[in-house]
Structure 1
Amino acid sequence: MDHLQGTYNMSIVALSYIIAVAASYVALDLAGRVSAAKSRNNRMLWLISGAFFMGFGIWSMHFVGMLAFKLSAPVSYDLVWVVISIVIAVMASFIALHIVGRDQLGLKRLLIGGTLMAIGIATMHYIGMTAMSVRIYYEPWLFSLSIAIAFIASVAALWLSFYFRKEQSWKGVLYKLGSGLVMGAAIAGMHYTGMAAARYRHGKSVEISSIKMEQEVLAYIIALGTLIILAFVLFGIYLDKRLTSKDDEITNHENWYKSLYDNHQDGIITIDIHSHIIDANPSAHRIMGINLNDYLNKPAAFLLELHAEQYREQARRLFLSSLQQGELQTMETVIIHREGHHVHLSSLSVPVIVDGDVKGTYLIFRDISEEKRSKEKIQQMAYHDELTGLPNRRLLKVTLVETIHQCRLENSPFALLFMDIDRFKIINDSLGHAYGDQFLLMVSERLQQAMIGMHVTIARMGGDEFTLICHGDSSADTPAQIAQRLIEVIQIPYRLKDNDFYVSASIGIAIYPEHGEDAEQLIRNADTAMYEVKRNGKNGYQFYSSQLDEHMMAKVELEADLRKAIKHNELLIHYQPQMNQRTMQIIGIEALLRWNHPEKGIIAPGIFIPIAEETGLIDEIGAWVLREACLQMKRWEQQYSWKIPVSVNLSTQQFHQKHLVREVKNILTETGLSPEFLELEITESMMMDVVRSSQILRELSGLGIRLSMDDFGTGYSSLSYLKMFPIHKLKIDRSFIKDITINDDDRAIVATIIAMAHNLKMNVIAEGVETKEQLQLLMENGCDEIQGYYFSKPIPASEIERLYLVPLNRNEQ
């Protein structure tokens, strides 16, 4: 049979491409509506209706494309096959929209979906070709090519639909239009490749109803109808987008609010106008430590039970004011957590106002427990002593001002006690700051224990200074009783570093308003009274009097003059001979510091040495005394060949200097005095830190210097020091010698010291010998050396020369 020849109507071909582009664009939009559908029913509705309109559009492109081809013989179309092809196009569209409407589109799903869609489109096309009333045969390779194009077009269509489905901006419209042009070209390419593969012959009969109409007219009718339908679809999509956009905007705002509500770190409870709890966020559950679901739809008054009792009424008033009057209210409250501990909350009641009417309220609260603890810690650090935990100087002044204000209103007095620990510096310097801190802790604990049951505020001013405010007792002897009690408590020995240490307290007392009407004046006057106690021998208490100001001013002036004394050569050294009690010859000499004040004359060491120690001048003065004594002994050695040791007292501060040994060595080198002619006198209090002290003493002894322990028996140190340290001589304190002739205890102590020293291979020297009877008793007990007014008081170097060295020189001549 002869093949039928045909020609294309290019205007209808172009029309078919337009339909393909329109259908592709609609397909891209439909994919977005399917994926954007919220409910399952809504999604299914869009899926079915979208598949119908998209499938009809694709079918229309194919059918119009077929109508664009006009054979040399008239052709009719079997309606049944036409309908079947439409159904297949709809099914293929359903598959495509179902796939791109998913949340994810992997490669495997894309290829499977593309294959199914390609099969559907190809089947639709070739079934549609079967509807023609001619016999059709296909070129195999073009047929295969059309199937390949269908697959590629389907995969591309699915990917583009998935990629651009949610793009709503004006750029998205351009992207979809460009994609529609590409997809339309691919679909048209598949169709016309399939048409090119077809070969037409006569001989097919149509047995059922067929479409009989002018091809061009039919093509335009179908094209127009399809475009109108697609236009309606696009319009429907546009309306749905607008409505959905409004819904999405509302939903988005709701989601933002819900996210803020649910994820807010503050607890939020929603209460309606009827005072019922209608909602609560997770933070409210966490902060309050309860399951608030048990409280939903319950009266808000149930929440008051969670508050600590003293806060319930305030919380109730805050809530009612917010709900009834529409006023924002804030407060701090405390609730009891289900685990039993208290939680501090910063609470805010925010009314919900709609159209001017209060519809409810939000209770917003934040856990500020940690913030409270931090503030309390900062408060503690700012107003309390870090070491002892006692109120510090700042809090003392605040308390003192408040006490003055109260007592002024009540016209009642109160007492301020200023206490300083005697000999604390010795402990701190000899044992170190760690043990010094431990000691101060022990002191503060004793003070607090002693004041239990008494209305007293104890504060640490710094160092070893403590201040006590005695509140509310106008009894005249109460401050004195408290002071005496403190003195007794402080005197109890302290166990430090396996040894007992003894200290005492000096306490000054000022009474309001007699001794001062403001805080500064009271503190200053109590401090003045305390220093008067120290000046009079320490270990006691003293009430302030106006006469004490004169002593304080004198002390201040003396301190200023002392700073100039070395530069102005006002310091001088007197020397006191030390005698051998058997031969009555001078075997040594002690250098004793004096101050020749230009206005006050000779000032005794007991007056200015404590000032030097307080101000730190003692180091410079001590070095000067050591150097001058060594120079003097070297001059006497050179001039009179006098070779006896000179004794020099070391202060506690000197002894604990890091470079003491080096300084002593340098002075000996500088003056040229041999170490064997220098004797350094130390006190028992310097020996508290055994390890440190023994190292210093061994180094000094290693230089050839002799060491003696001064004031032996007056301290509280262990006798084990005598065997641990390289001590060469013990010096019995004058306090034991004074009453040795009339006091059996003093006599026994002196005899014991002498016997013990001799057993330890040490020499003994007694100071303060003033009478022949004292000398006789010391000689009877075997004391080696004697020093005191019985032989000579401390005298200048010139007197030593006149009385001892010049006669000695004459006798030798």
Structure 2
Amino acid sequence: MPKTVHVMIVEDERVIALHLRKQLEKLGYDRTSAHSAGYDALKAIERDPPDIILMDIRIDGDIDGIETAAGIPPDLMIPVIYLSAHSEDATLARAKKTRPYGFLLKPFSERELHATIQMALERRVAEMALRESQQRLSLAMSAAQMSCWEIDVNTREMHSTGLGNFQTPQETETVTETWDAFLDRVESEDRDSVRKAFTYAVQHGDFYDVVFRSINAHKEQRWLRARGKSFSNDRNGTHRIIGMMQDITDQRMTNDKLREAMAVYETTQDGILILDPDLNVTNANKAYYHITGTGPKGTLNKPPYFLAPEEYSAGFYQDLFHTLRHRRHWHRDIETRNIQGNPISLATQIIAVEDDDGELTHFVAIVSDRTAIRQAEQELHYLAQYDGLTSLPNRLLATDRLNRAIERSEPVGARVACLFLDIDDFKNINDTLGHAAGDQVLLIASTRIKAVTERADTIARLGGDEFMIIRENIQNATAAANLAMKIISELQRPFYIIGHELTLSASIGISLYPDNALSPQDLIRLADTAMYAAKDRGRRTYAFYQSEMTETATRYMTRSLELRRGLENNELVLYYQPQMNAHTGDLVGVEALLRWNHPTSGLLGPHEIIPVAEQSGLIIEIGDWVLREACLQARRWQDELDQKITMAVNVSVRQLKMPNFAETVQHALAVAGLPAEYLEIEITESMIQDETSMIRMLHELREVGVSLAIDDFGTGYSCLRSIKSLPIKRIKIDRAFVKDLPGKADDAALVEAMLAMASSLGLHTTVEGVETEEQYHFLREMGCTDLQGFLFSKPVPADAVFADKAAKKQSNSNIS
């Protein structure tokens, strides 16, 4: 049974963290945990280390995401993937130091997230296997009582690991000391031979072998044997001597090392062979038999089967014996098969073993099974270039192929067409039929696209429901248009999935080389821009890129970035328009209206804010801010001026669709200390058409205690039966019915009917857009309860709503 993957999310935005957890659940990651602060995450890691961490960079607390990642114990080897909307050079430079497994820029698709997580987990498996192999090698050296050391010839600094540190002969930690300090512990009679060996290695670079005596910290004399070789690097000017050292004090120590080596020999996961000077196997450990599937009968007294003479040429064996004779060490990766015929990948090295007189006695071959690592590398390579669902090239490979197509077309002056395809309303298929059906649809779409294209064309899936088609040597724009229409027509043919007959439509954007751009990245970007233009034209069609499209997209992107900056820099403000009682003239409430103090454009209204916020997704953050600020302001009026009026706040359909929106409202009321009865949530008629999601949320809001009102009533298509059953307390009649009153009889009749309906249903009414005294008197006589419009006040800042009363209170305070 596969191990459940534990994914930890470190994200201070609760909504984003919740959304990310739901995405992960849809992708099959059932076990997730979330933390908003770095210290909390580090404590949780100590208690229950996750398999992978999705880390936002800007989080709550004294440390950010990068510092949190740096604090994770390295021995846990937990992959960290940064999820951030920030990619400044300084941020990236800091992030690199923590060696993350990925860096995803928000927003990103579920497929990108899934692929990045899977590749990170595979990389972790490979790295842990590598670490285990390195640990096994380190343990083997420790068990054999051997040490390795390195001398920097230029600085005369020596690094010893293992027995090279004579003060602690049983430790394998690396110790750094000077060459002179090392010589001080060598017996005076042997120092000259050690110095000569050092000098010879520096001058000639060959292996050397020297035996000498040393005194340890306990004043005991120990015999040591050292071998090494000089290495130089002309590029960076380094010159090092690297070698091995062995304690050969007495026979008992030798026997102990042999027993330890035998334990390693029998228990290591690497295969070990003992070979005679002719490379015939004289002994093999269990790991070798397990890796290759062979047994003693088919192994002993003959060369290893992966070095059989029929497998290689004579030159191979000449090189093998020459290397072993002169360098005493040969290594190579070998692709072969085990005895059952299954392919395996072996990392093989053969080491010559000599006696004390330097005569060759035998060889030791170490065989490491790298099959799993090699397969993982191949799978990662495939995932890096191909889509896992459709097996089509992904964006990376498609971009490379587009670049090659351009390179081939440039010398001959040929055109290249780049078609960017997006399936229309694909989200509805996933939402209604499920993601498994959505995957089948994507497979059908890819098959149909391939059916109407040429073999030389490249069809790629870029992610989600986006595809790209590349065609070289296309004659003209007409040919590209014909290809697009052929694909659209083919996708429209009906097909069946889980008992449902479906048809697909697609929007296609087209860019041409060299007409529109010269680089593959620009061609893809422009085709993507044209695709959105095709959607704006009604979908199920195509559009060629035009320069005006970039200008429009640039304006939107600029405004979107400015709006995000404005939200972060507190440039957004609320204005308030009073709502008056039609009969007493008393102020009974205000409607909170959004404004933007733009640094260069001045004060901007909702028409400059809401469309950009809706498209960019900022509407959730802005809507939450409006809700919090409005509640705080209502409470300030209660505390400072003793004014207990209703605060009306408009919410967007995207806010209402958030599953925890009622909790968000409740939290805003709690933070402000505002009783729920003084908050009124305004929704539009179109929001209450979705029976499965919106109506449930309205009842949850009513349970919180806030009032609900239908804004712009009469301009939508409300079902009166639905309104009767909903927890609505007020309707707001749209200004469109008021502007021609009292002269226009049709509007008067409609207003009168809506007021009568509201009265019979026990609903309060507010009429918007009242601008003249005639409208005011007419509506009051009709029985309207509350009025709103320029006749009473335009939207004003908070300090202007009760300006007279505030001034009077200040004056009384000064007198007292």
Bucket of the pairwise TM-score, normalised by the shorter protein: 0.3 to 0.5
What TM-score, normalized by structure 1, do the two folds share? 0.41
Q: Would you tell me which structure has more strand in proportion to its own residues? A: 2
- Highest RCO, 1 vs 2 (Cα 8 Å, sep ≥ 6): 1
What TM-score, normalized by structure 2, do the two folds share? 0.41
Q: Would you tell me which structure has more helix in proportion to its own residues? A: 1
